Amino acid sequence: MFIYTNQLQIIMKNKELLVQDIGLKPYKEAFVIQTGLFDQLKQIKIDNKHRDDPKPTANYLLFTEHPHVYTLGKSGKENHLLIGPDERKKYQVDFIKTNRGGDITYHGPGQIVGYPIIDLDNFDLDILAYMRLLETVIIDVLSEYGIKGERSEGETGVWLDADQATARKICAMGVKTSRWITMHGFALNVDVDLSYFKHIIPCGIRQKGVTSMQKELGYIPDKNRLKQTIVDKFAKHFGAKIKKSPIVK
């Protein structure tokens, strides 16, 4: 597969996906790692406009877990955070404004956070198709555990009982793109402490709840197996080739 640029250059599309589990990382540290890869890929695309031998871009999927933190997207409303600095100190939770899309959400122990840093040109995707495909990956993963994930019209992420009064979100999503390079991604609630969501209006949506795999299943699924299932479904739906996957121990 090839990419044809305005200069009639031909760039081989790279569908290899390098998967890395960076473990428990404070949000700001993970952000620095993401940004480094994101900027690197952007620079390759900028430089390719002036190269006779354009370079292919790489694709990454980082898994991480964050200590307690509320993050607010660039289009979010700060009044969707319902507690002040003193209460945040009591609950040992940070508040960080970030550059992804979307509103406020919570990250904490018991979530699997995935950050795909990929070149959408490598997969023939625009941003809307990319978001829908990310949702498909998580829906397919949940189905392996007997959980029926769904989309909610006009709302990003993966939900249960999306069109009912019992609607609840199980996976939040938010991304940033530049030159078709992505960063940020998804946060799947596995056995997260759901009480932290009571101090925000999650994703700015008042009328719907939040849930976790543990709450729905009655047990905590093995996280290494769960991460490997995400990798497998990502490879399936994106047509990606896994280059390295240090997930299964």
Count other C-beta atoms under 10 Å from residue 2's C-beta: 9
**DSSP state for residue 119 in the 8-state scheme:** B
- The CATH number that applies at residue 14 is 3.30.930.10
What token pair was written down for 235? Answer: 């490879």
pLDDT tens readout for residues 233-248: 999 999 999 986 544 3
Between 110 and 11, whose confidence is greater? 110
The one catalytic residue among 41, 137, 203, 210: 203
User: What's the confidence (pLDDT) of residue 102?
Assistant: 87
Record the pTM: 0.91
Helices (H), the chain: 27-48, 85-90, 127-143, 213-217, 223-238
Q: How far is CA 33 from CA 20, 40, 47, 212, in A?
A: 12, 11, 21, 27
Q: Is residue 192 part of a domain?
A: yes
Give the contacts of 206 (CB within 8 A, at least 6 positions apart): none
pLDDT band at 7, cuts 50/70/90? very low
How many structural domains is the chain composed of? 1
Query: HSE of 125 in the Cβ direction (CA atoms, 13 Å)?
Result: 22
Tell me the C-alpha distance between 136 and 114, whole Å: 14
Range of the domain at 117: 2-244
Question: For 174-192, what is each residue's pLDDT tens digit?
Answer: 999 999 999 999 999 999 9
Report, in angstroms and rounded to the nearest whole number, the Rg of the chain calculated over CA atoms: 18
Contact between 19 and 232 (Cβ < 8 Å): no
Q: Does residue 249 belong to any structural domain of this protein?
A: no
Residue 171 known to be catalytic: no
The answer to whether position 144 is within a domain reads yes
Share above pLDDT 90 across residues of the chain, in percent, rounded to a whole number: 84
